[in-house]
Structure 1
Amino acid sequence: MFYLLYIAVGFLCGYFMIHWMPPVTPFDFTYFITELIFNPLRTFLAMICFFIGFLANAVVIRTVIEGVILCLQRKQVRWKEWFICCGGMGSFYWLFQWETRLAALFFIFSLIYGMISVDLDRSRQYNRNL
């Protein structure tokens, strides 16, 4: 059930981050910087949503990567959480529909952090969520 929460938090944070950042489609550097400076609350909230969202999505991506690697090694995979996480990756489709560049940046940060945090040694007894 925690993975559904991570998927929902990652999607909502991505949505808010995209809508609170200045538009980047016809990119004008002066307008972009001016909007960031003159709207500090929106900028701060967008950065917080970006940070929380990419951490939540990184947990989901890590679970997908671990499941694939464990399946290839013919080890036990938690199929239920793996399928939930694979389905949750579809949330990036909607983020890419709204703003491609920001969603790509969001996805790349999540992917890199998710790959860094992969742990294939399941004998450790600490909390693996973050």
Structure 2
Amino acid sequence: MWFHLFCIAVGFFAGYLMIHWMPPLTPFDFTRFTTELIFNPLRTFLALTCFFIGFLANAVVIRTVIEGIVFCLRRKRVRWMEWFVCCGGMGSFYWLFQWEVRLTALFFIFSLIYGMISVNLDRSR
């Protein structure tokens, strides 16, 4: 459970930093967006690194939620406390959506797809 709390915290913090370091998207101007990405290489690198780390951390949480749902439907043993913590941790996307909708939607989609890909329904682990 501590690992999942850590993943939730890392995912939220990395998402916040990614949103903070990316160029503004509100009135989207492609020229301005690419210019800021090119002329601020450190911020671009840090934002992309935070995006990568954050979507991997959130994918672990999403994977746990999906596995819990599948195990519950199959009537197998579910670690309920861990599952509730992960479901509650999904609320961190609410706060990220409040700051930047487009980047958070992209962040969530990547996390969801990778979380679904990494689902392991084998109980031997």
Task: Give the TM-score taking structure 2 as reference length.
Answer: 0.98
- CA distance in 2: counterparts of 1:101 and 1:53, whole angstroms: 16
Whole-Å separation in 1 of the counterparts to 2:52 and 2:65 = 20
Residue 113 (structure 2) pairs with residue 108 (structure 1):
no
The CA deviation at 1:91 is 0.0
Query: How big is the shift at 1:26?
Result: 0.8
State whether structure 2 residue 40 is matched by structure 1 residue 39. Answer: yes
* Within-5 A mapping of 1:60-75: 60-75=61-76
In the other structure, the counterpart of 2:60 is 59
> Is it true that 1:24 corresponds to 2:35 in the alignment?
no
Task: Indicate the SS of the match to 1:86.
Answer: helix
Distance 2:88 2:123 in 1: 23
> Aligned residue for 1:14?
15
Aligned to 2:82: 81
Q: Which string of whole-angstrom CA distances, capped at 9 and with x for unpartnered residues, describes residues 19-76 of structure 1?
A: 1000111100000000000000000000000000000000000000000000000000
Q: In structure 1, give the amino acid aligned to 2:111.
A: S
Does residue 114 of structure 2 align to residue 119 of structure 1? no
Q: Which amino acid aligns with 1:105?
A: L
What RMSD over aligned residues (CA atoms) do the two structures have, in Å? Answer: 0.5
Aligned position for 1:95 = 96
Match of residue 128 from structure 1: none
1:87 shift after superposition: 0.3
Structure 1's unaligned 5+ residue stretches are: 125-130
Deviation at 1:85, TM superposition (A): 0.2
Task: Please report the TM-score for the alignment, with normalisation by the length of structure 1.
Answer: 0.94
**Structure 1 consecutive aligned stretches of length 4 or more whose deviation exceeds 4 Å:** none
Q: Say which SS state the counterpart of residue 76 (structure 2) adopts.
A: coil
